[in-house]
Amino acid sequence: MTAQSTSGGASLRRELSGRQLRMIGLGGAIGTGLFLGSGQAISTAGPAVTVAYAIGGAVAVTLAYALTRMIAAHPDAGGFGGMAERYLGPGPAFAQRWWYWIAGVVNIGSEALAVGIYLKLWWPGLPLWVPAVLFATLVLVVNSFTVGVFGEFEYWLAMIKVITIVVFVGLGAVAIFVGLGGRSATGLSAWTDHGGFAPHGVGGIWLAMVLVTFSYMGTEALAVAAGEARAGGRDLVSATRGVVLRLLLFYVLGTAVVVSLVPWNEAAAGGSVDASPFVRLFDIAGVPAAVHVMNAVVLTAALSAMNTNVYVASRTLHGLAGSGQAPRLFGRVDRRGVPLPALLASGAGLLLAALLAAVAPERAFLALIGFSLSGALLTWILILATYLAYRRAERPADRGLAVAVVLAMVVLAAVLGSMAFSDTFGLPMLSGVPLLVAVPVAYAVHARRRRAAGTPDPDAPEPVGAR
């Protein structure tokens, strides 16, 4: 008989293995940003972008270990939303879950649009909305099967990305120190040429942190998936340790190879498959049709990120319903343990976002990404705040991680503030502020109505600090 977990009062089946958990974490955090979007971060920071990725990785590691401590202690709490409800109270948990769900749905839409853009390399006349809708449907179908089927599908999608990065770093090391494709070794001169290691100074490194932090978003997906892991907390601890180390190595080493092989002011143009530094290296190595191979890889990367985000969004909405903070319809699961109503609601938002981006890609796409990042940053800050409340209640001697958590919160808050000064994300961030503010306002209305009716939420636990 399949083991089950309870999240918000409804049963979800424990079918995810440790290897699937690891790939879900990698699949959610490694998207097209590394393969294509890293060019914008490089243009802002130059070779010093590696410092930005190291700082972002340290924040991600801190968040992952804080989550590990909490979920290992309470594997059936319902992910980080359930932990926030337990230690911060229903209000912060409501805001966190809804911000995260909305940001996830928006991000799914951007990935669906990206899939359509990549396919246009092979079929230029294909209307953008056609592949976006078709692949969105595919992801919804995969998620409608048991969580074990989803986990296996995501495992192999993420594996393609992992293999590509490993091969890229390996070939890059050969090209840098030995020489490749009949060319002599490039060495590390590109790190100091063309204006130096940090051509735009410390300010350039800090502005790059906006894009770098977005690259690490998705690490928290492990906590959402923990409720359906076969070994619960034990699997999560093992998966987290492996994922955060790999993410740090992949991003830091990957960008180090890029700035070593391609002058930073040229790598900044890598916003298309043809201009991607990955394509350049594979061309040098003699990989046939490198552009088409790389296009298939980035398409897979977008599909994998979309697949994981649909899963996470559906479980987040399911948790909200279980806590009485969303219609109870979304808390229902079918006989296979799949929350179909929550899945379909997340899918409806996916299609809406994809179609919106297809209608006005110049403005809507950046707005989607900017808002998604704002919601994700707020979610991370609340996760870390939850850990501090958890530590006060249950692990007062755990001081080392607590210091790292406070520093990580400061970095994330500063990154959120820096978005207003970003040419790419400033306006999109401000356009998303009304919707972000609407979430706590909605909770205040929700709580007032329940109090007026004399029916406090029976599923909302008393905050630990109030005991």
Please state the separation of Cα 26 from the chain's center in Å.
9
Taking residues 88-106, what's their average pLDDT? 88
Return the higher-pLDDT residue of 113 and 320.
320
Residue 301 has pLDDT above 90, yes or no: no
Residues 6+ apart with CB under 8 A from 427: 366, 367, 370
pLDDT at 409: 96
Q: Give the containing element (helix H, strand E) for 180.
A: strand 179-180
The closest alpha carbon to 61, from 244, 236, 250, belongs to 244
- Residue 3's pLDDT is 42
On the question of pLDDT at 316 being above 70, the answer is yes
pLDDT at 461: 46
Quote the CA–CA distance of 436 and 344 in Å, as a whole number: 23
- pLDDT digits 0-9 by tens, 423-432: 767 766 776 6
Mean pLDDT, the chain, rounded, equals 79
| pLDDT tens string 114-139 | 777 778 778 888 777 787 778 888 88
Higher pLDDT, 106 or 45: 45
R_g (Cα) of the chain, nearest Å: 22
Question: Does 310 have pLDDT greater than 60?
Answer: yes
Q: How confident is the model at residue 406 (pLDDT cuts 50, 70, 90)?
A: very high
CA distances from 391 to 68, 382, 387, 401 (A): 13, 14, 6, 10
8 pLDDT band (50/70/90 cuts)? very low
Does residue 287 surpass a pLDDT of 80?
no
* Confidence band of 411 (pLDDT split at 50, 70, 90): very high
Determine contact, residues 205/52, Cβ cutoff 8 Å: yes
Please indicate whether residue 326 or residue 290 has the higher confidence score (pLDDT): 326
Average pLDDT over residues 69-91: 81
Q: Is 198 exposed, middle or buried (0-12, 13-18, 19+ CB in 10 A)?
A: middle
Closest CA to 44 of 205, 192, 195: 205
